[in-house]
Every structure is written in structure tokens, then in C-alpha cells.
Amino acid sequence: MVIYLLPTLAVPLFILVNDHRLYVPLAGGIILLAGILFPAPIALRRAYIGVLIVFAALVVQRNQVWHDEYTLWTDVERKSPEPFGKPIAYIHLGNYSRDHGELDKAVGYYRRALEMSPEHVAAKNNLANALEKLGQPEEARGLYEEVLAEHPDLAEPRYNLGRLAYFQGRPHEAIYHLRAVPDDSYHHDLALNMLGVVYEKVGRLDSAVSFYRRALAAKFESADAADNMARLLRRFGELGRGLMESGQLKQVESVSRQLLETNPRHRDSLFFLGVSLFHQGLVGESGEVNRYLVESHPDFIEGYIQLGNLYETLGELEGAAAVYEEAYRRVRDRDLRELLGQRLSGVRGRLVQ
């Protein structure tokens, strides 16, 4: 028993709650084992039984304290000497209240912790989080800045300031703070994902995809980054068209290539990569991409139209006719059939000439 407890003698616990190390059950077990291995007189054995009953009752009583975090930290707050243990207890009680949707109650606990320990970092940061959720962003911002001024290397307030700046419509300030979150921080993948959100908001879709991918590389199970990548893959038909219409050919190419590294057969990425290369004059590479597109997605008619247009540009009319014929055979939409029919007739007429 003494050997088992030696580590706590060398390294004292930070708070005065020791029985989660099962001291009472351990002592009871040792008494029981001693009684079995070393038979004692009846009177002493009866004393053993009495002690075990007392210990069993204590275990039941302490189990009620350890029922959940609220009962545990309430017990800690009641028994801890001031100011050593109480601020920690108030912070945990605040966390419990916050996680159960009682934000006003959480704010009260965090403020009580700060009354006893005004420079406590966790209390300030958690109070700021709660105030932000309660719709008091300016007070939250002040607390984040206060923590960061005192501890400039801390990642959490830096991340929180960046996130808050984004939601308050200050993207450049958000980028400044989020880029400063260190690589070895727990918040690193969160900061990278948030940078992706900010860049997407300001129209830099290529940078957004890059940061979402970096977030996934930093932490593969990063749920927010995975959701953002999946959303972009779903919406790239619409987003890519918007970028093309605004003439951002290089950005279309960059985003398409990055999305294809995630999903090499992604239809819309292949299509817009081919289109952007074509409009940049990279006709040969565009043709390779378009041929792979129609091979991978044989029912995607726009891919055939783009490939046929490329062949016409190169003067390869027989290739264009073959592509339009294959698309015409597959298409069901009336307007597309009419368009393909017109193109096919035009190419055939030029071949006759």
C-alpha cells in the first residue's frame, strides 16, 4: 500500500481530491486479503468485518459525490481551502454549466474564479467564450486580448481572437491571428480550417482549399475541414462557373488541381480544369484532361461539347464529329440534342467542303 502511494508523496496532487485513486477500496482489499492469508482469532476477524462494512459504506457515499462533474466539483469547492483549490473548482463547475447550456450560470462561476485568482488564464478565456456565446463579443474580445497580452505565446486566445474577428467582419485581422497559431498547438488544425473559411469568404477559393487540405494533413479526423472539403466538391460546379465568368482562370486551374488531388475523378474539377487550360491557350493539356473526363464520366454531355469544341479549334474536324455523334447518341435533353445536332451538321458540312 505504501509503495502504491509513493508517487503522490513525491508529486502532490494539484487539488485536494485524492479518493479517485481508490485509496479506500485498496485499503479494504488489503485487509480482506490479510484476513484470508493469515487467519486470525475470531474476535479479530469480526473486527475485520466491521472495518470492511465501514469502508463499504464510505465507498457508497463517495460514489454519490463522483456521480457527475457537478457533484464532484461542488464537493471540491466546499472542502478546498481558499484560495488554493476553489478557483479550479469554479472553473470546472463553469465548464459543466456551459456544456449543459447554462451559460449565465457558467459566467457566474468563471467570475467567482477570477475574483479569487484575477490572473487565471483558463478562467478568463472560458469566461470570454461564454460571453461570446451570450452575444457579448466586445467584452469577450477584451478578455482574449488581455490574456494574449499577458501570455503572447498562448494558442487558444490567439485562435479565439481570429475566429471572433472573422465573425465580426474583420477578415484581415482574422488572418493575422490565425496564421500566428503555432504548428504544435492543439488548435493548429482548427486555425488552418478557419483560415480556409476566411479565404473562402473573401473570394480566394484556391487558398481556402489549400488550408482545408492542410488542416486535414495536420489532423486527418478534423471534422470541420472534412465537411468543408466535401461541401466544395459538391458545389464546385456552381463555384467554378462563377470564377470562370469573372475571368479568374488561374484560380480555377489551381482549385481544380487541388480538388483532383483529393478526388482524381471528380467530374466538375476535371471539366473546369480542361476549360481553364483551354482559355489560357494550353490546348494540348486541355485535350488530355477532357478526354479523361469523358472516359470517366461518359454521360456528362458538357464534357463532350467542350472536347468537340477543342477538336474544332485544332482543325481536327473528324475527331470533333465523332465526339458530337457520341454525345448526340447519349443525350436525352431536347435543348442539348438541338445544340449537338447543329454542331454536328456544321462540322459535317465543313468536312464535305
pLDDT digits (tens, 9 = 90+) for 171-219: 999 999 999 999 988 889 999 999 999 999 999 999 999 999 999 999 8
pLDDT 10s digits, 50-86:
888 898 888 888 888 888 888 888 888 888 776 656 8
pLDDT band for 231, please (50, 70, 90 cuts): very high
The CA distance from 11 to 171, in Å, is 46
Mean pLDDT of 133-141: 94
Looking at 32-46, 57-71, 292-306, which range is the least confident one? 32-46
How much is the pLDDT for 172?
95
Residue 1 lies in a domain: yes
Q: How much of the chain, in percent, has pLDDT values that exceed 70? A: 92
How much is the pLDDT for 61?
86
How much is the pLDDT for 267?
96
Residue 30 lies in a domain: yes
Residue 15 scores a pLDDT above 60? no
pLDDT band for 9, please (50, 70, 90 cuts): low
Residue 230 scores a pLDDT above 80? yes
Per the structure, the complete domain to which residue 9 belongs is given by: 1-88
The total number of structural domains that make up the chain: 1
What sign for the dihedral angle of Cα 208, 213, 215, 220?
positive
Residue 301 lies in a domain: no
pLDDT band for 220, please (50, 70, 90 cuts): confident
Say which residue, 32 or 313, is predicted with more confidence.
Answer: 313
* Cell matching residue 35: 484476513
84: closest CA among 23, 13, 6, 150? Answer: 13
Residue 327 lies in a domain: no
How much is the pLDDT for 34?
79
The CA distance from 89 to 301, in Å, is 65
Say which residue, 272 or 347, is predicted with more confidence.
Answer: 272
Residue 142 lies in a domain: no
Residue 2 lies in a domain: yes
Q: What mean pLDDT is reported for the chain?
A: 88
How much is the pLDDT for 31?
76
Residue 55 lies in a domain: yes
The CA distance from 76 to 17, in Å, is 7
Residue 205 lies in a domain: no
How much is the pLDDT for 107?
94
Burial label for 237, CB within 10 Å (0-12, 13-18, 19+), is middle
How much is the pLDDT for 205?
95
Residue 263 scores a pLDDT above 80? yes
Phi-psi region of 49 (alpha: psi -120 to 50; beta: other; left: phi over 0): alpha
In angstroms, the first-to-last Cα distance of the chain is 102
Looking at 73-77, 87-91, 113-117, which range is the least confident one? 73-77
Say which residue, 9 or 300, is predicted with more confidence.
Answer: 300
How much is the pLDDT for 1?
54
pLDDT band for 268, please (50, 70, 90 cuts): very high
